[in-house]
Structure 1
Amino acid sequence: MEQTFTAVYIVDAFTNELFSGNPAAVCCLEKDFSDSLKRKIAAEMNLSETAFVTIENGETFEKSPKFGLRWFTPTHEVDLCGHATLAAAAIIFHKLGNKEKAIEFNTHSGILKAIQEKDSSITLDFPLNPPSPYQAQNLKDIIRVVAENLEIQDVQHSSTTKKLLLRLADKYKRHDLENLNPSTQELLSYESNGVVKGVIITLQGDANEGYDFYSRYFAPWVGIPEDPVTGSAHTVLAAYWQKVYNKDQFRARQCSKRGGDLNIKIIGQRVKLTGEVAHVLEGKIRIKL
Structure 2
Amino acid sequence: MKLPIFIADAFTAKAFRGNPAAVCLLENKLDEDMHQKIAREMNLSETAFIRKLNPSDSFSQKNMNSTLTFVTLSGELKARKAEDGIILDLPLYPAHPQDRHEVKDLIKTAIGDTLVQDIRYSPDTRKLLVRLSDTYDRSFLENLKVNTQDLLQVENTGKVRGLILTLKGKPSGQTHAFDFYSRYFAPWVGVAEDPVTGSAHTVLSSYWSQELGKKDMRAFQCSCRGGELEISLRPDGRVDIRGGAAVVVEGTLTA
- TM-score normalized by the length of structure 2: 0.94
> Which stretches in structure 2 are left out of the alignment for 5+ residues?
none
What does residue range 1-289 of structure 1 map to in structure 2 within 5 Å? 4-62=1-59, 97-119=62-84, 121-208=85-172, 209-267=176-234, 268-287=236-255
Question: Residue 111 of structure 2 contacts residue 147 of structure 2 at CA under 8 Å; is this kept in 1?
Answer: no
Change (3 A) 1:127 1:189: same
How far residue 112 of structure 1 moved from its aligned partner, in angstroms, is 1.7
In the alignment of these two chains, the number of paired residues is 251
Change (3 A) 1:196 1:59: farther
Residues in 2 aligned to 1:249 and 1:42: alpha-carbon distance in whole angstroms? 35
Residues in 2 aligned to 1:122 and 1:246: alpha-carbon distance in whole angstroms? 25
Residues in 1 aligned to 2:37 and 2:165: alpha-carbon distance in whole angstroms? 31
Question: Residue 148 of structure 1 contacts residue 180 of structure 1 at CA under 8 Å; is this kept in 2?
Answer: no
**Which aligned runs of 4 or more in structure 1 are off by greater than 3 angstroms?**
none
Of 224-233 and 143-152, the range deviating more from structure 2: 143-152
Of 145-154 and 19-28, the range deviating more from structure 2: 145-154
Partner of 1:71 in structure 2? none
SS in 2 for 1:211: coil
SS in 1 for 2:7: strand
Of 276-285 and 98-107, the range deviating more from structure 2: 98-107
Of 252-261 and 141-150, the range deviating more from structure 2: 141-150
Change (3 A) 1:54 1:275: same
Give the % identical residues: 47
Residues in 1 aligned to 2:125 and 2:199: alpha-carbon distance in whole angstroms? 8
How far residue 148 of structure 1 moved from its aligned partner, in angstroms, is 2.4
Residues in 2 aligned to 1:184 and 1:241: alpha-carbon distance in whole angstroms? 25
- TM-score normalized by the length of structure 1: 0.83
SS in 1 for 2:193: coil
1:191-247 C-alpha deviation (Å, 9 max, x unpaired): 452211110000001232510000000011111100010000000000000110111
